[in-house]
Amino acid sequence: MNTMKAIPGGVEIGKAFGPFFHGLMKDTTSEGGMSGKYKELIALAIGIASRCEACIYTHVEKCLKSGATPREVLDAAGVAVMMGGGPVYTYATVAAAALKHWESSNVAK
């Protein structure tokens, strides 16, 4: 989000895109054929594979809040590394740091 604020017109773009994105997220993260927990684990793996630190922290938090265990979070990170190789491996450490951060703040409780 800070990146969007830094570019000319970024705030306006964010305001226009925000409601659309939040609606999309609500539709895709609600319970359906797959639980919200598994959807968040997939979103985390994609965030890691995309090398998006903000996405990683956000989705680790959401994974824990939706009932994922630390082992499941790390398994999702492992799948991302398996699919993305060496460049993605460095972002698995971001997921581990995010997990430590959110566990220490008792976000899952």
* Same domain, yes or no: 52 and 83: yes
> pTM score > 0.85 for this model?
no
* Same domain, yes or no: 66 and 40: yes
Amino acid 85 reads: G
* Same domain, yes or no: 66 and 42: yes
Residue 3 belongs to what domain range?
1-30
Contacts of 13 (CB under 8 A, 6+ apart): 4
**Can you tell me the mean pLDDT for 6-22?**
74
CA–CA gap between residue 65 and residue 72 (Å, rounded): 13
- b/e 60-75 (16+ beta carbons within 10 angstroms → b): bbbbbebebebebbee
Res. 88: pLDDT tops 70 = yes
- Which token pair is 91? 């972002």
**Can you tell me the mean pLDDT for 17-37?**
72
* Same domain, yes or no: 52 and 72: yes
CATH number at residue 69: 1.20.1290.10
For the chain, percent of residues with pLDDT exceeding 90? 61
- Greater model confidence, 60 or 34: 60
* Same domain, yes or no: 26 and 52: no
Amino acid 99 reads: L
Query: What pLDDT is attached to residue 107?
Result: 75
Res. 31: pLDDT tops 70 = no
Structural domain count of the chain: 2
Q: Which of 46, 49, 50, 62 is nearest to 98 (CA)?
A: 62
* Same domain, yes or no: 105 and 68: yes
